[in-house]
Amino acid sequence: MNDLVCRPLPRRPRARVLLAAALWLAPVLGPASLPAQATATAAKPTTPATRHGFSLERLARLDTMLDGAVAANEIGGAVALVLRDDRVVYERAVGWNDRETQRRMTTDAIFRLASQSKAITSTAVLMLLEEGKLSLATPVSRFLPSFAKTTVAVRTDTGVAIVPARRAITIRDLLTHTAGISYGMEASVSARYQAQGLGPAAGFGWYTADKTEPVCTTMDRLGTLPFVAQPGDAWVYGYNTDILGCVVERASGMPLDVFIRQRITQPLGMRDSHFFLPVAQRERLVTVYANDSGRVRRAPEGARGQGHYVDGPRVSFAGGAGMIATARDYARFLQMIAHGGRWNGRQYLAPHTVALMTTNQVGTLHGSTVGFGLGFETIERYGASGLASPGTFGWGGAYGSNYKVDPDEGLVIVVLINQLPAGTDIVARFQTMLYSALVESRARLR
């Protein structure tokens, strides 16, 4: 990162002596008595070194903070990548890819994206919408018959009652997380979900990479279980995008991984983005660590730790939580979205569709200062998410990673870690410190 070094311009000896004498006499003679040359030299401002509007001195604080988090055993490792107007502002790998084998983190390391997969699957759904294969009002039951008559678990004075849903669940409900579908971890439904291999039986609820059945089989079974809110009544985070992955399969006639590879990742040049990692690249997959006591330790094998992204069955393509990628790959996807659906001369989505994705579609169901579009959380007010500008959109994943796109400032921010539980606020600190280094702002924040 030390590609810009500032050195003071040399001064002639006589001018240096004259300036020193003038400054020594200034308290006695006053500013008006300073020689003209000395006044001009003393008053000349020093321009701070910047990169694309960011102070280099302040960006260096990020290095110190990230290195300190590794040294303090707060994180195992991380990769951070920041672009402004498609130019790299900051890119750094810190810590360990695998601490136990002393394998250092690199900028091309591959991370588990978890829920960062949702934006990519949502993009796939909207591609099919643009082709007329579905609409936002299309009932999900057109693609998954078990959703024709869904139910809702309602608490009563005597326990839990299972009642019919008041209306059909639509594609819009799934994209906005307003279908009432959770990850089945609530006490009112958890036993039923566990019996069907979901909820508590699926890691922390969202994990399906160890399943030996296709995702549509799992989601068809989900449709027979009760949900936790009526469609449209609440913002409930859960299997919504995994259901959409099945919708993509049935509407397009091809497996989800093939559709995403052919229509999104391959054309964008996202060569290291997959659902399951090629075995030959296993050492590039970052080790999962856990921080539940202030210090990191290696997470266990299995669904609540390392997962099955290399040696698993490779059958269940989870659109809501199953993808892996590098920071550069994910940033490339975000660049396409930031450019109104267009990248390198190819139109992936129309600008109006992208605007729909990145505009709040749920009113205040998700919160009073943040909203949710069709796959992205939206920042509705300055201060709602650190120093991010209003209009910023993004999301994160269960392994602790996060991303933001700030259209006002032309920023794409990707910070990847793989910790479960994360046990750290390092991503929030990174984003705040990054914005504090932005000394040439374009945003209107009031």
> Mean pLDDT throughout 308-318?
97
Which of 17-26, 64-73, 390-399 comes out lowest in average pLDDT?
17-26
**What are the chain's domains?**
13-47 (no CATH), 53-120+256-436 (3.40.710.10), 133-252 (1.20.58)
> Mean pLDDT throughout 88-113?
98
SS3 88: strand
What local confidence, expressed as pLDDT, does residue 44 receive? Answer: 63
Q: Which of 409, 397, 268 is nearest to 341 (CA)?
A: 268
d(CA 167, CA 389) in angstroms, rounded, equals 37
Residue 23 vs residues 37, 38, 46, 76, 403: alpha-carbon distances, Å: 12, 8, 18, 52, 51
What local confidence, expressed as pLDDT, does residue 46 receive? Answer: 67
CB–CB of 219/246 below 8 Å?
yes
What local confidence, expressed as pLDDT, does residue 45 receive? Answer: 66
152 bridge partner residues: 163, 227
Which of 12-21, 211-220, 433-442 comes out lowest in average pLDDT?
12-21
Q: Highest mean pLDDT: which of 157-161, 292-296, 389-393?
A: 389-393
The confidence band for 445, taking pLDDT boundaries of 50, 70 and 90, is confident
> Mean pLDDT throughout 108-124?
98
Structure tokens of 53? 């509007």
Convert the pLDDT of each residue in 29-73 to its tens digit: 344 444 445 445 555 666 779 999 999 999 999 999 999 999 999
Looking at per-residue pLDDT, the higher value among 28 and 102 belongs to: 102
The confidence band for 158, taking pLDDT boundaries of 50, 70 and 90, is confident
159 bridge partner residues: 156
The angle at the Cα of 113, spanning 108 to 114, to the nearest 5 degrees, equals 160
Does residue 122 register a pLDDT over 70? yes
What local confidence, expressed as pLDDT, does residue 443 receive? Answer: 84
The confidence band for 444, taking pLDDT boundaries of 50, 70 and 90, is confident
> Mean pLDDT throughout 132-153?
98
CB–CB of 125/252 below 8 Å?
no
Looking at per-residue pLDDT, the higher value among 438 and 48 belongs to: 438
Does residue 221 register a pLDDT over 50? yes
Does residue 1 register a pLDDT over 50? no
> For the chain, how are helix, strand and coil distributed in percent, rounded to 5?
35, 20, 50
> What is the pLDDT of the chain when averaged over all its residues?
91
Q: Where are the beta strands (DSSP E) in 175-261?
A: 226-227
Rounded to 5 degrees, what are φ and ψ at 355? -60, -40
d(CA 144, CA 219) in angstroms, rounded, equals 8
> Mean pLDDT throughout 124-153?
98
Convert the pLDDT of each residue in 236-280 to its tens digit: 999 999 999 999 999 999 999 999 999 999 999 999 999 999 999
